[in-house]
Amino acid sequence: VRLAKYLAQSGVASRRRAEEIIRQGRVEINGKVAELPQERVSMQDSIKVDGELITGPEKKQYILLNKPPGYISTVKDTHHRPTVLDLVRDIEARLYPVGRLDEDTSGLLLLTNDGELAHRLTHPRYQVKKVYRAKVEGLPAEESLKCLRRGIYLEGVKTAPAGAEIVHVLTDRRESTLEITLAEGKKRQVKKMCEAIGHPVRYLKRINFAGLDDRDLPEGAYRRLSENEVAALYKMVKL
């Protein structure tokens, strides 16, 4: 199989991330630095990533984590900050997050070693839905919410149609809670969208990812997906 696919199947990273890792010169095949993601490899080859031997396909794991603020959604951090993987230390697999939540954002984050599924869930083609609760300053006008629904320009690029509803308002209208539904995932998108309509986000939480939700999962806790939930994800991204 192609090297990038092999790394994804082995749970190293999503296919896209695996391609990057190869291009960064971090992968060795039989002692030689690999140059191309499409290089062919087999189980007989000795393959190392960052000097660590990869042992081939491992059991697929699907973990839904309720991320607290203060953790970053990367596998390794150069500044030794806590990462989401610190919260799932007892799981024996090379997990990585599917997409990202900002350090100060909380809520549902899927972790897996299923590279192909992760790749598709984050690919714009499949328009996977994410739902956020955003506490914002003030009370947005209906016209502003319409703008968010139709799409607005962020750094010259129009956002895709989104859901935007008010779900709670403080009596003095100093703060309100919006429910924002996105079918894409640009960096800091919810914060930028709310800022663009003049209502900066004070607190952000993701309450649904790709149809997965869990009101009973405490912050910092995680659970495994059921077989039905995994099957639904596969169907959603045509696997």
Binding residues for ligand URA, rule: CB under 6 A, are: 101-102, 105, 188-191, 204
Position of tokens 């607290």? 68
What does 130-188 look like in DSSP terms, one character per residue?
Answer: EEEEEEEES---HHHHHHHHH--EETTEEPPP-EEEEEEE-TTSSEEEEEEEESS--TT
Our CB check for ligand URA shows the closer of 29 and 204 to be 204
Minimum CB distance to ligand URA smaller for 94 or for 199: 199
Active centre residues (catalytic): 102
Q: 153 — phi, psi (to 5°)? A: -90, 125
CB of residue 203 to ligand URA, shortest distance in Å:
11
CB of 166 vs ligand URA, minimal distance in Å: 18
With respect to ligand URA, which residue has the nearer C-beta, 67 or 94? 67
For the bound state, the minimum distance from the C-beta of residue 206 to ligand URA, rounded and expressed in Å, comes to 6
Q: What is the DSSP string of 46-99?
A: -EEETTEEP-S-----EEEEEEPTT-BSSS--TT---BGGGGGTTS-S--EESS
The CB-of-176 to ligand URA minimum distance in angstroms stands at 17
- SS3 of 2, please? strand
